[in-house]
Amino acid sequence: MLWRALLFQKTEVLMGIAISAEKRVERFARVISKFLAYFGGAVLTALAFMTVASTIGRAFVGLQIGLGPIPGDFELVEAGTAVAVFCFMSWCQLNQGHITVDIFTRRLGAHINSLLLLIGNILIFIVALVVAWRLWMGFGEQVTWFSQPVRDFLGFGYKPFTNNTTYILGMPFWYSYSLAFSGAFSFSLISAFTVWRALNDLIGREP
């Protein structure tokens, strides 16, 4: 039938446009995700060196030579590890690096597996949005910026009396919250992209 042939041809053209746009967005997503991954790796490397230096310094405490552990080392490890984790999530999601169990799904065929991949990416996208939302609210609860109407508009909640800080270093909590939110926000965007990519893959497959 002529109308079926025209419809098929139009669908092929639209799929070609979608795939082309997907590749362009993916190149940009890889740049952002790779930068965040490198940043997270640098943070973890710095934390590892700091932990070694602090441990060595602790061994010299009794010698009275001016060496000792780095003050607040565990506070830096707690904050830095959380930031690094969120920096890695975008790269992991973009490359489908999550742990999967395919004992049962490997025999279901490519089309069903593409459908399952789409469903999985949608669920991850929802989780990423919730995590980013909660980090944003947590960030707002740690700062005293803006008037109350502006804070309500941004979803920051009531203004605290003072900025919350760590016990030893006095480091404001919003430092780690802001960096972690940046990683979570990127994770949300990458998750949205992978939903689109999985949908293109599903539509482009023959049933």
- For residues 70 and 57, what is the distance between their CA atoms, to the nearest angstrom? 7
Instruction: Calculate mean pLDDT across residues 117-137.
Output: 94
3-state SS class at 165: strand
Structure-token pair, residue 19: 């795939």
Residues 136-183: tens digit of each pLDDT = 998 988 888 888 888 888 888 888 877 788 888 889 999 999 999 999
**pLDDT given for residue 84 in this prediction:** 95
Q: How far is CA 41 from CA 37, 88, 94, 117, 161, in A?
A: 6, 8, 17, 28, 35
Query: Per-residue pLDDT for 130 more than 60?
Result: yes
Which of the 8 DSSP states describes residue 110?
Answer: H
- For residues 40 and 80, what is the distance between their CA atoms, to the nearest angstrom? 9
φ, ψ for residue 95, nearest 5 deg:
-100, 10
Residues 92-102: tens digit of each pLDDT = 999 988 877 77
- Asked whether residue 19 is domain-assigned, the answer is yes
Which of the 8 DSSP states describes residue 61?
Answer: G
Name the pLDDT band for 66 (thresholds 50, 70, 90).
low
- Asked whether residue 90 is domain-assigned, the answer is yes
Question: For 67-76, 81-90, 101-110, 113-122, which range has the lowest pLDDT when averaged over its residues?
Answer: 101-110
- Asked whether residue 193 is domain-assigned, the answer is yes
- Asked whether residue 175 is domain-assigned, the answer is yes
**82 contact partners, CB below 8 Å, separation of at least 6:** 176, 180
CB-count exposure of residue 178 (10 Å: 0-12, 13-18, 19+):
middle
- Asked whether residue 68 is domain-assigned, the answer is no
- The number of distinct structural domains making up the chain is 1
- Asked whether residue 141 is domain-assigned, the answer is yes
Which of the 8 DSSP states describes residue 60?
Answer: T
| Region of 205 on the Ramachandran plot (φ > 0 left; ψ -120 to 50 alpha; else beta) | beta
Query: Per-residue pLDDT for 106 more than 80?
Result: no
Q: Report helix, strand and coil shares of the chain as percent, to nearest 5.
A: 75, 0, 25
C-beta separation of 187 from 86 below 8 A? yes
Q: Which residue range is the domain that position 140 belongs to?
A: 2-38+78-204
C-beta separation of 164 from 142 below 8 A? yes
Residues 16-33: tens digit of each pLDDT = 666 778 788 889 999 999
**pLDDT given for residue 89 in this prediction:** 95
**pLDDT given for residue 5 in this prediction:** 45
**pLDDT given for residue 83 in this prediction:** 94
Mean pLDDT score across all residues of the chain: 84
- For residues 28 and 33, what is the distance between their CA atoms, to the nearest angstrom? 9
Which of the 8 DSSP states describes residue 69?
Answer: P
Structure-token pair, residue 143: 């700062």
- Asked whether residue 67 is domain-assigned, the answer is no
Instruction: Calculate mean pLDDT across residues 56-64.
Output: 76
Which of 12-26, 55-69, 76-90 is most confident?
76-90
Instruction: Calculate mean pLDDT across residues 72-95.
Output: 93
**pLDDT given for residue 186 in this prediction:** 95
Name the pLDDT band for 3 (thresholds 50, 70, 90).
very low
**pLDDT given for residue 112 in this prediction:** 84
